[in-house]
Structures are given as structure tokens and as C-alpha cells.
Amino acid sequence: MSQEAGTEHTPEAGAGQARGAGAGQARGAGAGHVREATSGPAREAHPDRVRETVAGRVRETVAGRVREAAPEHGALPVADDRLTSVLRPVRAGNGFEEALEQILQVVRLGLVPGGERLPAERELADRLGISRVTLREVLKVLQDQGLVESRRGRYGGTFVLPRAETPGEEELRRRLKDVDVEDTLRFREVLEVGAAGLCAAHGLDEEQAGRLREALARTHDAPLTEYRRLDTLLHLTLAELSGSPSLTTQYAAVRASVNDLLDCIPLLVRNLEHSQRQHTALVEAVIEGNAECAREIMREHCAGTAALLRGFLG
């Protein structure tokens, strides 16, 4: 669009800053309280613990860790910047449309949780390679759709609004009109199985293994209302660790579509218990370098999600 013309952009600034700050935090967070969730002879989460936390009776310690990790007044910490996998410079000519697509993915994937603030306009514009005028048009659309709100004052900015309760079957069928479910589920399986195999075959260093264990631990400790968001972050972490930015970008897009469907069906504790056991076995297989086992576990995991969605679509 014409508004991008003549604007000086530095889209690489955000990604570079995140890379520089990320390593220290991952090493520090590594094993400690996380090792418990991924080691031991059984190599799976104890069903009673999963049931307790998934059902929403988790202790306040996890919420405390999340609050401690978050910066003051809701801004995302640079060291925990998950936006790098989604935000990238847009192509010339479609600045508005591609920027809208990317920020929608950030919201739909839960990369910025409800109640927290998006990065400042200057940073967002730089990372997307668009003018602040165009960015404001994008944010206005999101505000009109009830996804974000703008707040003024010293601690103002653009904040993601909390999601509504499960929309239900009618909304699910409405969303189905805009998506080829079978194509989406198959493409998701190809990407996820490939990412798991790549991570295991190429191996993870200590820092990368720590990131994966930490992402897993957060799903084990998640209250019910946060489970799907943290589940998404675990899968996105695996995609990022595959070493293929293209795969990560494609996965973020397809996972956003899958989440739109999952948000319309209820969370089933029995299903979440099973998913957690699969997650634990998957992480162990990846860290141990067992590519064949990692691929098979992920294939089974994706098939379970697909079966659940088909059952509710029946």
C-alpha cells in the first residue's frame, strides 16, 4: 500500500534482540523444577497429578511463576519473545493484509495471552516492515472485531482481550464453512511429525532441551482455562527447534486454524490426561534422539486430535 512507501524499516531489530536475550533465560530455567515432569522410569505424567491440575485444582505456585516471569504492567518480556516465529517483514504491495494476518495469528495462537499488552507500535511496525499509520489501521480492525482494546495513559497500549467461553457447536459449524478440515488436519500432521523427527534426528543441545522441558512442564501445571494456549506453545516450541523457519511459519498458520476449531469444542479431562502422557513420551523421545519413536508418537497424537474434531463434527 502507498503508506509503506518512503518509510525506513528495521524488521530485524526485534528478532535480534530476542535471540540475544533468550539463551540465558532458557539455560537458567532448564531442568530444576522441570526435570520431574520428563524423567523417571515411567517417563509419563502421573495420571492423578494430571487430573488434579487439568481439572483446575492446581496450586498457586504456577500462577506465581507466570506472574514473576511477566514484566511490569503486562508487556511481553523480550527474553520470552514467542512472536519471532510469527512476525516477519511483509511483502511489498500487501502490507496491510499480511500484517493483519500475522497479528491475528499472534492472538489466535495465544502468544500474547488475554489481558496482556502487544508490543509497542514502533516495535511492531519495525518487525513487520510497515508504517505506523498502516499498523494503526490493522489494530483498528482487531479492535472492531473485539479482539483487542486500546488503553491510554502511562501504562497504556494495545491489550489482547480475554477470550469468550467455548462458542459451541453452532459457531463451530459456522467456522467450518471457511476451512477444509481434512486438508488442515493432514497438513498439520505432516508438519508436526516432520518437526518431531527433525528435532530428534539432529539432536538438541542443553539449552534447547531445557526450552522443550520447560514448555512441557507448563502444560502439566496448567489450569484448565490456560491448557490449550500452553499446549500450543509446546507444539510451537518443537517446530521452532526443528531448525526450519519455513516449517515454523507454516505450522503457526495451520495451528491457528486448528485452534479456531478446538475452541468450539469442550475440554475433556480424559482426553487431556492422554495428551499429557503423549507429550511426556514425545519430549523424552526427542531429547534421547529417537527420531522414529518421536515421529510415531506425534502421528498418534495428531490422529487423536483429528478423531476428536471429527466426532464433534459428526
Phi, psi of 55, rounded to the nearest 5 degrees: -75, 0
Per-residue tens of pLDDT for the chain, all 314 residues: 434 433 444 444 444 444 444 444 434 444 343 333 334 443 444 444 444 444 443 333 333 333 333 333 344 443 346 787 788 888 777 788 888 888 888 888 888 888 889 999 999 999 999 999 999 988 988 888 888 898 888 888 999 988 766 565 566 667 677 778 889 999 999 999 999 999 999 999 999 999 999 999 999 988 888 898 899 999 999 999 999 999 999 999 999 989 888 887 778 888 888 899 999 999 999 999 999 999 999 999 999 898 888 877 75
Q: Alpha-carbon dihedral of residues 141, 144, 147, 153, nearest 10 degrees?
A: 90
- Any idea what DSSP says for residue 42? S
Please report the DSSP string for 232-281 in residue order: HHHHHHHHHHTT-HHHHHHHHHHHHHHHHHHTTS---HHHHHHHHHHHHH
Short-list 134, 102, 85, 91, CA closest to 241:
85
- The pLDDT assigned to 110 comes to 83
- pTM of the entire predicted model: 0.61
Q: Which of 258, 259, 3 is nearest to 130 (CA)?
A: 3
What's the CA gap between 194 and 295, in Å, rounded?
Answer: 7
- What local confidence, expressed as pLDDT, does residue 166 receive? 56
Read out DSSP for 116-177? PBPPPHHHHHHHHT--HHHHHHHHHHHHHTTSEEEE-STT-EEEEPPPPSP--HHHHHHHHT
Cα separation, 48 vs 124, in Å, equals: 43
The answer to whether 53 and 221 are in contact (CB under 8 A) is yes
* Residue-level pLDDT at 192: 96
Look at residue 59 in the predicted model and tell me its pLDDT. Answer: 34
pLDDT for residue 49: 44
**Alpha carbon of residue 49 to chain centroid:** 23
Q: Cα 287 to the chain's mean position, in Å?
A: 20
Helices (H) and strands (E) in the chain, counts: 14, 2
Q: Within the chain, what is the greatest distance between any pair of CA atoms?
A: 61
Q: What's the confidence (pLDDT) of residue 159?
A: 93
